[in-house]
Structure 1
Amino acid sequence: MSTFALIFPLSQIEDGTAFPVSQWPLHATIVPPFETPAGPTAIANTLRPIAKTIEPFAISGHHREQFGERRDISVTTLLPVDRLQTLHRLLSDAVTTLGAAPLEPQYHHHGFAAHITDNETDSFSIGEHHQIDQLTLVDMRTEQPGANPRALLTLDLGQETRHPAK
């Protein structure tokens, strides 16, 4: 089983790039980590036609919250809630067809809250706006010492896609 997540990056993330979690460029996680027997190619083949149907759209910072069991993860929740909730369900359901299961089911479907997590140097502000135009598949396998989440494939929304990282 492999572990992946789907994100909407706020800046260009080159396929194949890895970052420590605390240093990941700002992004909105649209499908939190899930396990699946499917590999990146099968996931890409499932997501590619869906990404082509999603037109780029604007998000904005709604309010600041503390997430996590200890309420120690600073985030900015996002608008439009309905649009992000719909895209979360659409993309979650798509990877479910590949045998995907969420690592933390409480944060999927009804428990999903669209947000951007602060990193070590940056945060997304209340009222800040950004155009979402890409979807990135992230390999979340970090069990190896020194391993970090890695961007595998970026799909342009409403358009053709780039090639996956090797």
Structure 2
Amino acid sequence: MHRFAVVLPLDPMHVGERYAVRNWPLHITVSPVFSTEATTAMLAGPLTAVASAHSAIDVVVGPPELFGPRHDTPAARIDSSAVRGLHDALSTALAPLGVAFDSPRYAGDGFRPHITTTTHGAAQEGARIRLAQLALVDMEPGPGPGRPQVVAVAGLHKPIQ
């Protein structure tokens, strides 16, 4: 089994970048950590298809809240139907690949978009942010400096009709 997550980074991520969890760049987790037998290549197709069907998303950072199972993780709430729609679209697209969320309570109806505070800082309430990329992150890559590792990226760029 492989473990992955899909995020909307505030600043672009690049394939091959690795981060210790506490050092992740600011992002919104749009598909929480999941396990699957699917390979990176098998996941990249649906990721790209979903990204190409969605435009960049503009959000306004909400007030700070405490997240996590113990409500001790500082984060900023994001109220966005577009981010929720992206979460739903990814869940649907990845389902045929046998995706099983590690914490299903944070997916589907339990999905609450937010930006977790990390060593890179915190999202400031009221800030306007444009989210334009999805990043597929391998949560358990092979040996190397830092973990997890970005293994695929796709730009949000719904064609103009």
TM over 0.5: yes
* Matching residue's letter, 2:83: L
Secondary structure, counterpart of 2:122 in structure 1:
coil
Alpha-carbon spacing, 1:25–1:154, altered in 2? closer, same or farther (3 Å): same
CA contact (8 A) 1:141 1:147 kept: no
Deviation at 1:159, TM superposition (A): 6.6
Alpha-carbon spacing, 1:108–1:115, altered in 2? closer, same or farther (3 Å): same
Secondary structure, counterpart of 2:97 in structure 1:
coil
Aligned to 1:57: 57
Aligned to 1:152: 151
Matched residues in 2 for 1:46 and 1:91: separation? 8
Aligned to 1:28: 28
Unaligned residue ranges in structure 2 (runs of 5+)? none
Moved >2 Å (runs of 4+): 142-147
Q: How many residue pairs get matched? A: 159
Aligned to 1:128: 127
Unaligned residue ranges in structure 1 (runs of 5+)? 161-166
Deviation at 1:50, TM superposition (A): 1.8
TM-score (norm 2): 0.92
CA RMSD of aligned residues (A): 1.9
Alpha-carbon spacing, 1:4–1:99, altered in 2? closer, same or farther (3 Å): same
Q: Percent identity, aligned pairs only?
A: 30
* Matching residue's letter, 1:35: S
Secondary structure, counterpart of 1:137 in structure 2:
strand
Matched residues in 2 for 1:68 and 1:142: separation? 24
Aligned to 1:16: 16
Correspondence 1:32-43 to 2 at 5 A: 32-43=32-43
Matched residues in 2 for 1:46 and 1:83: separation? 18
